Structure 1
Amino acid sequence: MQNLIAQAVPIVGLGGAAVWAVALIIYDVRQRRLPDFLTLPAAALALGWIGFTLQWHALWGLLWSALYLLLALASNGQGMGGGDIKLAVSLGVVIVKHSGVFALLVAIGLTAVIALIWGLILRGRARQRGIDRADPPNGPAMLFATAIVVFTPW
């Protein structure tokens, strides 16, 4: 029975994470914001996990949030929002714990590349429709980059 539970826990965890990520993507694409009820519990869970397990090296994951906070301050809140900063807490901790600090840097760069490509596609479509501006939300790019980095063997 214990073996069955041990096998089920990762599957349930991945399923829950996938549902959470899909909810974030849908919300960010439709509403252009990441809600606190989805980002704050995940951030608290990630930080609580660090404290509970005493795996302090995972605090390097906060580098992503710190970078986004600096970008938000430098741009007076234009483009980078609080939801992105809060989402970066949980994603950064997971990446560092699973794959290390270098993988976190790769995810940050990959997020920028995904957002840039998506933005170019959206701008091309916007021009065809006569719309002035079409910037992509950043949350989906963050989530896709995290999935790529975590599920790619290093």
Structure 2
Amino acid sequence: MGSTGGVLVALALSAWLITLSAFDIRQRRLPNVLTLPGAAIVLAGAAIAGYGRGATLGAAALFAAYAAVHLIAPAAMGAGDVKLAIGVGASTGALGPDAWALAALLAAALTMGWAAVLLATRSDATVPHGVSMCISAAAVLWLVLP
């Protein structure tokens, strides 16, 4: 894919991630109508572009990790985050295992930082993890864009 094609894909993914983040901030949930079709489009696009294996592995790995957390502690991670993990895992997995790992670790670090600020201010607000997932995926995407 040429640099113009890469930028267009990055812009489309960024628009999806911004939409998801805005929804998660306002509603504290990620709807299936945004997470699941987006994940399917990311997986299909990656396969068409020749990055299907990495995207599939990234989606499966992040989904499995998030599903495990959700099953063990449902209050700690919502089902929307688990579904979002498919698309985020696919988009970062298509970029390679290093990009995938960086995005996964950055998402956790952002959520922990946000939670620490809330604890320090003695706020009883909750932290929507989907926002951290989206920010980290976008940051990694734009970081590795040729």
TM-score range, shorter chain: 0.7 to 0.9
Number of the residue aligned with 1:34: 30
Which amino acid in 2 is paired with 1:60? L
Aligned AA (2:92) = I
- The superposition leaves residues 62-83 of structure 1 with CA deviations (integer Å, 9 ceiling, x where unpaired) of 20111000011111x1121111
Which structure's relative contact order is higher, taking Cα pairs within 8 Å and 6+ residues apart?
A: 2
Closer, same or farther: CA 11–56 of 1 in aligned 2, 3 Å: closer
The 1:7/1:57 distance shift into structure 2, 3 A limit, reads: closer
> Which residue is equivalent to 2:56?
59
Q: What is the distance in 1 between the residues matched to 2:76 and 2:120?
A: 19
Partner of 1:109: 105
Query: Which of these residues, 119, 131, 135, is aligned with residue 140 of structure 1?
Result: 131
Q: Percent identity?
A: 30
What TM-score does the superposition give when structure 2 sets the normalisation length? 0.82
Shift of 1:148: 2.1
- Structure 1 gap ranges (5+): 1-5
Structure 2 distance, partners of 1:7, 1:108, is 25
Distance in 2 between the 1:145 and 1:34 partners? 17
State the 1:17 CA deviation.
2.5
Q: How many residues align?
A: 142
- Equivalent pair of 1:60/1:101 in contact (CA under 8 Å): no
Counterpart Cα distance in 2 of 1:37 and 1:108: 23
Tell me which residue corresponds to 2:143.
152
RMSD: 2.4
TM-score, normalized by length of structure 1?
A: 0.79
* Unaligned ranges ≥5, structure 2: none
Residue of 65, 79, 92 corresponding to 2:76: 79
